[in-house]
Chain A
């Protein structure tokens, strides 16, 4: 069994010491208590995952607010993660994961309470601020409505003498964007007056979700303008690395949205054992994967994969995305936000395209294949629409290229030359060896089956009166015969219907001869395979002869048309007593 590596976000408490006016968790920022200590849940989860060969390559802490934990609980969790990384260092590094130190996401308000543990375990800190800081003062307040900025800035200085990584992030809405000059000034202020690594700072783009009506998402044009304004202000400065890197990395391929199905990799664990997709999906039933105490790991993993697949399928896969040369990086965006907006594509689509261009991400030169592989995984119902064209190898012309150079050969492979009608259903017939998918139909003795052949296919013969519709019936059962000793489908019947007969058969399609083969099939029904699909081919005497002549004259053709090339349909013939179900 292969080891599966996951990203695990642990939420040891839902409590928060602040009451930001736009908080997405709203009334959920209380610790609900319960019998479990957070460290017990984390230990239990990691052990249970490990027993099932699932290894977190990263365990990060998120809130609520982790610093609201008492000192001992915080210490125990950080110590456990530190030891976990040490114990699994070799395994993780062998699998190309970078092993860091324990990491917390925090509002920085109660940092001093845990500074000893932070020092001892070299905890990496990611703080949240509002930029500009004037809006931080306004929005990010305590439960008693007191401003928090002064204390947070003081707390940042607690880290001054420490080697720990420390960074901050900010979420941008229209209210922030409107004060963009202030944002720029405040970034410069933080760089100059704190030891925060402002090259490791990052922006998030807000979306319209539970902000108590206080915040307005940016339009896509405003997002792009924001991106450019940041570049204008910081390219070539001491923060050049940041603006061209971490600041906007959330919209690059480094983050969760670069997965086809993020449910295979990203998990959020709460203290009570509940598992969700991530902070966006937290508390949302569509992104709830189960409970580590109650459900098996395999059940949780299956639920995660299935739910994310389902969420991506709530909106259709757009042609625009299928043809986008950046699909290979974007994967159509976050399913949570797509569903929130009832949109099929990423809410930061334009910004992402600007970023990919600016950072010289290559346009996909193998787009058809990328789209096919993406559809295969995430939209299998559309798969047949995205089947790529076959290409020849460098040392041999493709079959299609050979056909294009030979007018007569063209008819053998023409997908408009024949079609079948089963009752009123019209079934196009394609060459067996050109088709990219294989349709098998289910026929019964009650179906009326009629073959239609384009008149000109028969008439473009040197001697049309001597030409015939040529029908070949093969059983799904196999037989080994011939000098080759090769196992093939068993030949049941060949049937030729000459033009003089076809001319006198009624046809409801002007350009086509029609011939009812219902009785022909019935006559051979007892020889058909019951288990495997049988095979019915259509061509003409002339075209069949030409196929073998071409095989004789052209080895490249022979190699690629070694199986019957004619238009065909595979079918099961279902009779009342056929199956003992």
Chain B
């Protein structure tokens, strides 16, 4: 758990992003707190995750990294920067991706009678 009570929308967003990160990675409470503080204190912070590490970058410089194991096999990695979280879906070797949060929104409602 992140101990700080959010005082602003930015705090809420940062906190939400940290908790969203735990949907993809197993992260200890101490490390989660560290990520939250890092995002709070570094305006150009970037958090990157790959198969087994979470890395904290500031202005493209690696500041710290620690092992963290993925909880899902549907992604290769992800990045948090600013107010966005970007997921890289898993690529099988030789190309092709699968997964991604929006791979289930087909809309077969092709009655085209709404051109009034």
Contact = CB atoms under 8 A, between A and B. Distances in A.
Interface of A: 302, 305-306, 309-310, 313-314, 316, 366, 369, 372-373, 376-377, 380-381, 383-384, 387-388, 390-391, 422, 425, 432, 436-442, 444, 446, 466, 472, 474, 476, 478, 482, 484, 486-489, 491, 532-533, 535, 541, 545, 548, 551-552, 562-564, 568, 570, 572, 574, 576, 578-579, 581
A479 to B, nearest CB: 10
B104 interface: yes
Interface string B52-68: 11010100101001110
A372 B90 CA distance: 12
Contacts of B105: 432, 474, 488-489, 535, 563-564
Interface of B: 2, 5-6, 9, 12-13, 15-17, 19-20, 46, 48-53, 55, 57, 60, 62, 65-67, 76-77, 79, 82-89, 91, 93-97, 100-108, 110, 112, 114-115
Given A548-B112, A574-B12, A440 B84 contact: yes
B95 A438 contact: no
B104 A488 contact: yes
B86 to A, nearest CB: 4
Q: What 9 pairs across the A-B complex have the smallest Cβ distances?
A: A548-B110, A313-B62, A380-B50, A380-B48, A489-B105, A442-B13, A381-B48, A444-B9, A439-B86
User: Which among A316, A442, A491, A574 has the greatest number of chain B C-beta atoms within 10 A?
Assistant: A442
Given A376-B77, A576-B12, 12 more contacts: A369-B95, A373-B93, A376-B51, A437-B89, A439-B84, A442-B13, A486-B104, A541-B114, A541-B115, A545-B115, A578-B16, A579-B15
B20 to A, nearest CB: 8
Contacts of B96: 390
Given A316-B60, A440-B85, A535 B108 contact: no
Contact of B93 (A369, A439, A541): A369
A380 B62 contact: no
Given A314-B62, A380-B77, A563-B104, A305 B88 contact: no
Contact of B107 (A383, A552, A564, A581): A564
A295 B82 CA distance: 37
Given A444-B9, A466-B115, A484 B108 contact: yes
Contacts of A578: 12, 16
A562 B104 CA distance: 9
Contacts of A439: 84-86
A335 to B, nearest CB: 12
Nearest to B86: A439
Most buried by A among B94, B104, B106, B112: B106
Contacts of A437: 86-89
B27 to A, nearest CB: 14
Nearest to B110: A548
Contacts of B66: 302, 306
A540 to B, nearest CB: 11
Contacts of B104: 478, 486-489, 563
B84 A442 contact: yes
A438 B48 CA distance: 14
Contact of A436 (B20, B82, B97): B97
A440 B52 contact: no
A381 B67 CA distance: 15
Contact of A482 (B15, B103, B108): B108
B46 to A, nearest CB: 6
A442 B48 CA distance: 17
A458 to B, nearest CB: 14
Contacts of A384: 79, 86, 88
A341 B76 CA distance: 32
Contacts of A446: 9
A409 to B, nearest CB: 15
Contacts of A564: 105-107
Given A381-B48, A391-B95, A440 B87 contact: yes
B13 A313 contact: no
A524 B112 CA distance: 25
Given A381-B79, A551-B110, A306 B9 contact: no
Contacts of A576: 9, 12
B31 to A, nearest CB: 12
14 contacts: A302-B66, A306-B66, A309-B65, A369-B94, A369-B95, A380-B50, A383-B50, A432-B102, A437-B88, A439-B85, A488-B106, A574-B12, A574-B13, A579-B15
A524 B4 CA distance: 30
Of the candidates A478, A486, A489, the one having the most CB atoms from chain B within 10 angstroms of its own CB is A489
A425 to B, nearest CB: 8
A383 B12 contact: no
A86 B115 CA distance: 80
A383 B115 contact: no
Nearest to B75: A438
B15 to A, nearest CB: 5
Contacts of B83: 422, 441-442
A465 to B, nearest CB: 12
Nearest to A264: B52
B112 A545 contact: yes
Contact of A381 (B57, B94, B100): B57
Contacts of A548: 110, 112
A436 B84 CA distance: 16
A563 B85 contact: no
B16 A383 contact: no
A548 B111 CA distance: 9
A390 B108 contact: no
Contacts of A390: 95-97
